[in-house]
Amino acid sequence: MRRIAYIITVVVFLQIAPSISCWEEGTGLETGGDMRVHVLVEDLPEDARQIGLTKQLIQSKVELQLRRNGITPSSKETLEALGYFLYIKVNVVDSCFNIDVEFARITSYIVGYKTYRKIATTWKTGSTGVYGNAKYIIGWLLDNIDIFCNEFLSVNEK
């Protein structure tokens, strides 16, 4: 009886082991070589708009920096097909700023007969500081975009 239980255990392990062994940690930035990224900029607070920062300005600066680094900004229509995007949040309060640059994926999971979808951040960088003007904040944002580009390209170059 003990021998039968042992054999069953070994057979079950041998069926499960190949799927476990193919898991890799990853960086969260893997796209299989696709060099397109959709950029999503969060709406800015009033303090940011008062110093000349606009959502359109940030969007265009980020997309230009991506292009300079060999990454193609994609349209909103391709977001669903890509399944991932670059999320940019710039917050300004009084004389302080915070920048978040996140690479996020659209994930799904199944419970019973229902499929659920969530957004999961798989990579993140950012900066916090005291600013003098909008140009200073844009400079920090572009530094963070360069960090993203370097890491993105290192795992997705062909």
**Residue 13 reports pLDDT greater than 80:** no
The candidate with the shortest Cα–Cα distance to 88, out of 133, 51, 151, 38, is 38
The candidate with the shortest Cα–Cα distance to 89, out of 81, 100, 80, is 100
For residue 12, the one-letter residue type is V
- Cα–Cα distance, 82 to 89 (Å, whole number): 21
User: 58 falls in which pLDDT band (50, 70, 90)?
Assistant: very high
**Residue 21 reports pLDDT greater than 80:** no
User: 4 falls in which pLDDT band (50, 70, 90)?
Assistant: low
Span 123-152, average pLDDT: 96
Task: Give percent above pLDDT 70 in the chain.
Answer: 84
- Give the pLDDT confidence score for residue 157 in this predicted structure: 80
User: 148 falls in which pLDDT band (50, 70, 90)?
Assistant: very high
The Cβ of residue 54 has, within 10 Å, a number of other Cβ atoms equal to 13
- Cα–Cα distance, 93 to 39 (Å, whole number): 24
The arrangement of strands across the sheet holding 36-41 comes to 72-74, 36-41, 84-93, 96-111, 114-130
- Cα–Cα distance, 17 to 122 (Å, whole number): 26
Span 123-142, average pLDDT: 94
SS3 23: coil
Q: Are 86 and 40 in contact (CB under 8 A)?
A: yes
**Residue 80 reports pLDDT greater than 80:** yes
Range with lowest mean pLDDT among 1-15, 116-130, 141-155: 1-15
Candidate CATH numbers 3.30.70, 1.10.3430, 3.30.160, 1.10.10; the one for domain 29-156: 3.30.160
